Chain A
Amino acid sequence: MDYRIHLANRMLANKKGSLLGAIMAVSIGILVIHVNFVIFQGLYDAIIRDLSGYRFGDVLVTNREDVITEKSDVFLVNWLERIPYVEAAAPRLSSSASINVTKSGKTIQDFGVPIVGIDPFHDIRVSTVHETVKDGQYVFSRNSIVVGSTIARDLGGVNVGDNLKVKIVNRHGEDAIKRFIVTGIASSPGGQGFDNSVVIHIDTLRDMLDRQKETGQILVKLNDPTKANEVKDLFLRSFPNDDFKVETIEESAEQTLSGFRSGIAMINMIGYFGMMSSAFAVVTIQMMLVSSKTREIGIMRAIGAKRKDILVIFLFQGMIIGVIGAGVGTGFGLSYTFYAKETKMSFQGSLPLQVSYDWSKIIQTAIMAFGLAVIASIYPAIKATKLQPVEAMRSV
C-alpha cells in the first residue's frame, strides 16, 4: 500500500474523536436526505397510490361531456382488457343523492351525498375501495349499499344491516326513491377513500337515473404503470371520432399534487443545505487535523516529502472520511427506510407512507456526500502543503 494512504489511515485512526465527528457530519447529512425522501416522497407516492387506487386507476377514460354514451361499458372494458399492459378495467357512474334513515323511531333525512355506482365484479379487480370496507362487505347485489364512515356517523351511526332510503333526481327531473340494505361501512386511512360517499351497484344507479347505457368513467389498472401513456395513446388513436378524454394518473392527480411537488423541491433544497453544512464541518475538522499534525508535516517535508505528497495525504483522509461517512449514512438511511416500509409508517392515523427504495437517488446521494467530503478536504490539504519545514518544526 502507498505510504501516504497508510499514513492518512493511521493519522485518522489515532484521532478517533475527529474521525467520528467527521463521519457523523457526513452520515447525518445523508440521513437527513433519506428521511426527507421517505417522508415527503412517501407521502406524495401515497397520495398517488390512493388516488389511483380509489378514484382514477392508472389510466382514466372519460368523455368530454363526463358521460360516455357512444360505447357500452362492456365493450370498452373488454376492449381495454385485451391490451397486454392492462390488468383490468371497471366502469363507474357518479351522481348525487339524498338519504334518509330511520333510527330508533327517529328519521334523519335529506342528506345530500355523492353517490357512486360500481360494477362489483370488475371494481374489486381495479380499485382498492373494497379494501376500505372494514365493517361488512362491498356492494354485492342490486340493493346493497356501502356507506362512507363520515356519512354513517352523520346519519347518527348507521350499521351494517340497517335500511336506508336513497332519493335521486333522474334525467327527467323526477325523484327516484329506492330502499337499500347497508352491507358495509367504508373507512380509509387519511380519508382519501369513499368516506364521504355512498356506493351502490352501477346498474341500480343507471335504473334510478334512467340512464341505461351510460357510464361516467372507466378506471383502468395496468400491470405495468409505466405504460400509462402508451395505453392512453393507443386508446385515443383507436377511437378518433369519439369525444373520449383519457388521463394518466399523473394528469388526474396533477391538481392535488402540483403544490406538493414544489414543497418537495424545497425540502430537498433543505436536505442539500444540510449536506453543505456537513461539508463545512468536515472542513473544520480537517483544519484541526492539519494543525495538530504541523510537526509531522514538517518532518515529512524535511526528509523529502513534496508538497504534492502532503496534499495527497490529506485528500486521502478526506476520501476515507467520505467513504466511511457515505457508507454509514447510507446504512442509517436504509435502516430508516426499511423501518418505515416494514411498519407502514404513517402520521397520526393518516395515510400510510408509500415507501420505496430509489436506488439511483441513494447512490447519487452517497456519491455526492463522498465528493463533498473530498472537496471539503482540498482547502485544509492545500493549507498543509503551504507549511515550510523549518516553520513547522519550530512548533516542537
Chain B
Amino acid sequence: MNKIYGEGDTKVHALVDVSFSVKKGEFVLVVGSSGSGKSTLLNMIGLLDRPTNGQVSIDGTNTTTLSDDQISSFRNSKLGFIFQSSNLLTDLTVLENTLLPRNIQHTDQNAMNEAINLLKAVGLGDQMNKRANKISGGQAQRAAIARGLVNKPSIVLADEPTGNLDSVTAETIIQLMKSMAEKLGQTFIVVTHDRHQFGEVDRIITIRDGRAFEGEDPPRKMEIKV
C-alpha cells in the first residue's frame, strides 16, 4: 500500500509500497524515527484514513469498498484505539468513557459489568466515577486501554501510548498492555520511537522513510514484500 499526502511541490510519499500481515494474538511493535510514517501506517490500519492505493484487510474483510458508516461500525467492533494523549472525553466520567464504544454499538447489555471489570483489571477500580479530566495522565492511558478492549476488538492500535508519560509510569503502562495482551490473547500493534522501553515482544517492524522492514535495526535490503 502507498500513502501520498498533498499534490505537486508539497507532495509527501508517506508510505511506500508497505505490505505486511499480522497474525492473531501477536504483539507487534512499530518503530522508526520521527516523521518516518509510523502514525500514517497506524491510521491506515485503523481505518482513520484511506491509503492512496492498496488495501487493508482485517479478519478477512477487504475494507477498501466499505462506506463511511460501515467503516465506522467496523472501527467500533474490530478495532481499539489508544492515542498518545487526551484519549478521553473530559465531559464524561472514566466509566462512561470506557462504556462509550458499547453505547455506540448499542450493545449495552452486560456492558456495565464488563467495563467495571476491565477498569478493575487496569487498576482504576476506585477512579471509575471521576470526571476524565480529574485523573492523571497514566490513569487516563489505563482508562484508554480499558476502553480499547471493551468491545473485544480484533486489533488494539496504540500510537506512542507512553509518549506523554514519565518513564516510571510509561513502564507500568507498557507492562499493563503486555499483560492484557497475554491474558486475553489480544492482537496489539503499538507504535513507539523508544523501542527499549518495551523489552521482549513478538515482532518488530521498522519504518524508515515510509518503507517497512522486518526486525529491529534491519539492513536496507530486508524490506518486507509479500
Binding site for B on A (CB under 8 A): 3, 6-7, 10-11, 13-14, 295-296, 299-309, 388-390, 393, 396
29 A-B contact pairs sorted by A residue (CB < 8 Å): A3-B100, A3-B104, A7-B89, A7-B91, A7-B92, A14-B91, A296-B90, A299-B87, A299-B89, A302-B48, A303-B81, A303-B100, A303-B101, A303-B147, A304-B73, A304-B77, A304-B105, A305-B72, A305-B104, A306-B68, A306-B69, A306-B72, A306-B73, A307-B68, A308-B69, A309-B104, A390-B49, A396-B84, A396-B86
A303 contacts B92, CB within 8 Å? no
Q: How far is the CA of A388 from the CA of B43 in the complex (A)?
A: 12
Known contacts A305-B104, A396-B85; A390/B43 CB under 8 A: yes
Q: Enumerate chain B residues within 8 angstroms of A396, measured Cβ to Cβ.
A: 83-86
**Residue B138 at the A interface, CB < 8 A?**
no
**6 tightest CB-CB pairs across the interface, nearest first?**
A304-B76, A3-B103, A10-B91, A306-B72, A389-B48, A390-B48
Q: Enumerate chain A residues within 8 angstroms of B100, measured Cβ to Cβ.
A: 3, 300, 303
A301 contacts B72, CB within 8 Å? yes
Q: Enumerate chain A residues within 8 angstroms of B99, measured Cβ to Cβ.
A: 3
Since A7-B92, A302-B48 are in contact, a sample of 16 more A-B pairs with Cβ atoms closer than 8 Å, ordered by chain A residue number, is A3-B100, A7-B91, A10-B91, A14-B90, A296-B91, A299-B87, A299-B89, A303-B81, A303-B104, A304-B75, A305-B72, A305-B76, A388-B48, A390-B49, A393-B48, A393-B83
**Residue B46 at the A interface, CB < 8 A?**
yes
Smallest CB separation, B147 vs chain A (Å): 7
B80: nearest chain-A partner, CB-CB: A303
Q: Enumerate chain A residues within 8 angstroms of B46, measured Cβ to Cβ.
A: 302
A306: nearest chain-B partner, CB-CB: B72
Q: Enumerate chain B residues within 8 angstroms of A306, measured Cβ to Cβ.
A: 68-69, 72-73
A305: nearest chain-B partner, CB-CB: B104
Known contacts A3-B104, A309-B104, A388-B49; A302/B81 CB under 8 A: yes
B91 contacts A303, CB within 8 Å? no
Q: Enumerate chain B residues within 8 angstroms of A299, measured Cβ to Cβ.
A: 83, 87-89
Q: Enumerate chain B residues within 8 angstroms of A11, measured Cβ to Cβ.
A: 91
Q: How far is the CA of A296 from the CA of B89 in the complex (A)?
A: 6
Binding site for A on B (CB under 8 A): 43, 46, 48-49, 68-69, 72-77, 81, 83-92, 96, 99-101, 103-105, 147
Q: How far is the CA of A377 from the CA of B144 in the complex (A)?
A: 31
Q: Enumerate chain B residues within 8 angstroms of A388, measured Cβ to Cβ.
A: 48-49
Q: Enumerate chain B residues within 8 angstroms of A303, measured Cβ to Cβ.
A: 75-76, 81, 100-101, 104, 147
Q: Which of B72, B85, B88 contacts A304 (CB 8 A)?
A: B72
Q: How far is the CA of A305 from the CA of B77 in the complex (A)?
A: 11
Q: Enumerate chain B residues within 8 angstroms of A300, measured Cβ to Cβ.
A: 89, 100, 104
B86 contacts A295, CB within 8 Å? yes
B68: nearest chain-A partner, CB-CB: A307
Smallest CB separation, B78 vs chain A (Å): 9
A392: nearest chain-B partner, CB-CB: B48
Smallest CB separation, A301 vs chain B (Å): 7
Smallest CB separation, B155 vs chain A (Å): 13
Q: Enumerate chain A residues within 8 angstroms of B48, measured Cβ to Cβ.
A: 302, 388-390, 393
Interface centre among A295, A306, A309 (most CB of B within 10 A): A306
Q: How far is the CA of A165 from the CA of B166 in the complex (A)?
A: 108
B105: nearest chain-A partner, CB-CB: A304
Interface centre among A3, A11, A304 (most CB of B within 10 A): A304
Q: How far is the CA of A13 from the CA of B92 in the complex (A)?
A: 11
Smallest CB separation, A198 vs chain B (Å): 75
Q: Enumerate chain B residues within 8 angstroms of A295, measured Cβ to Cβ.
A: 86
Q: How far is the CA of A125 from the CA of B205 in the complex (A)?
A: 101
Q: How far is the CA of A390 from the CA of B83 in the complex (A)?
A: 11
Q: Enumerate chain B residues within 8 angstroms of A10, measured Cβ to Cβ.
A: 91-92
Known contacts A295-B86, A388-B49, A390-B43; A304/B104 CB under 8 A: yes
Q: How far is the CA of A390 from the CA of B77 in the complex (A)?
A: 19
